[in-house]
Structure 1
């Protein structure tokens, strides 16, 4: 019964996204990032389009696990972590981060560089997660697909 209800809700979400050109286009932008599939894309659309974030830093803090010095959009004091703010969203993002750290060339290089520099693997994954959130925020704000060759062109 629970699985049938979950599938019905997912079908409604998919129909809603397909019937709204802006959401459909935003989903295409998000899923152009290696490591971001439809489940994480739906979550990121809900987070990024359902809230008014001015930059990617408060998004990363709101999703959990990312410390920041201050964020007016997040109701926390100076320097406090936001580890348990949104555990379900953070868990989806963590799984996507593990996939991206293996298959996305930019994030894999970033992860490898951090581990070689002596950072613990879980800590390095947290940094990759933060970077993945920044990439998701960037593709939606610039309204363009993720360009794997951007770093080479820049």
Structure 2
């Protein structure tokens, strides 16, 4: 936001050199402070072997950075009080609600009543995931044509990404790009077995 503001000041017809200089100093200070906070986060996690080990499950997801994973874990206290995916999506404000009043029937949307820090930190990873993450890219491409706005499909990716992070953390597993394919093959195998049992002649 501040970088955009600096660009706006620089490109203004009535730009002020002193104002631009002051803003540049402010931007440098913010970047320095951000770097310091990130270094503190890395140091805290490095001192906790268990936390460091489990955080690596989340960063094994293509598109999820250390900062994104650490923020989600910090905001949920390591999913300490989360018992299922539904509760997690509600906590983060990704639960779907229907806006309606009297005879007016509105459209469904996410509530945004939950933790805004989680939603903010998952925005950029979701944009990366729809380009490089095999599972979420396929999910996004399947969902996007059915949505009026691409952002709606992107929010759905954020929700799915958060649930994926929760699942890997709880199961203590690394991301498996073939998971969805394996799950589909498993379902197909069960369906084929059930059909064969149904079609067996009765003796």
Q: TM-score, normalised by structure 2?
A: 0.63
The answer to whether 1:25 aligns with 2:53 is yes
The answer to whether 1:37 aligns with 2:26 is no
User: How far, CA to CA, are the matches of 1:124 and 1:83 in structure 2?
Assistant: 16
Deviations 1:44-100 (A, max 9, x none): 21134164100122222222343269xxxxxxxxx9953143323311111111111
Aligned counterpart in structure 2 of residue 87 of structure 1, from 111, 116, 120:
116
Q: Which has the larger radius of gyration?
A: 2
The answer to whether 1:15 aligns with 2:43 is yes
Whether the aligned pair in 2 keeps the contact of 1:57 and 1:68 (CA below 8 Å) is: no
Partner secondary structure for residue 147 of structure 1: coil
More strand by share: 2
Runs of 4+ in 1 over 4 A off after TM superposition: none
**1:57 maps to what in 2?**
86
User: What value does the CA root-mean-square deviation take over the aligned residues?
Assistant: 2.3
The answer to whether 1:140 aligns with 2:189 is no
Count of residues in correspondence between the two structures: 144
Q: Given the superposition, is the C-alpha separation of residues 80 and 100 from structure 1 closer, same or farther in structure 2, using an over 3 Å criterion?
A: closer
Deviations 1:21-50 (A, max 9, x none): 111011110000011101111112113416
Q: Given the superposition, is the C-alpha separation of residues 138 and 50 from structure 1 closer, same or farther in structure 2, using an over 3 Å criterion?
A: closer
Aligned counterpart in structure 1 of residue 139 of structure 2, from 105, 110, 114:
110
Deviations 1:83-126 (A, max 9, x none): 1433233111111111111111111111111123x223111111
Unaligned 5+ segments in structure 1 are 70-78
**2:23 maps to what in 1?**
none
Whether the aligned pair in 1 keeps the contact of 2:55 and 2:169 (CA below 8 Å) is: no
Q: TM-score, normalised by structure 1?
A: 0.81
Partner secondary structure for residue 52 of structure 1: coil
User: How far, CA to CA, are the matches of 1:92 and 1:53 in structure 2?
Assistant: 19
Q: Given the superposition, is the C-alpha separation of residues 124 and 45 from structure 1 closer, same or farther in structure 2, using an over 3 Å criterion?
A: same
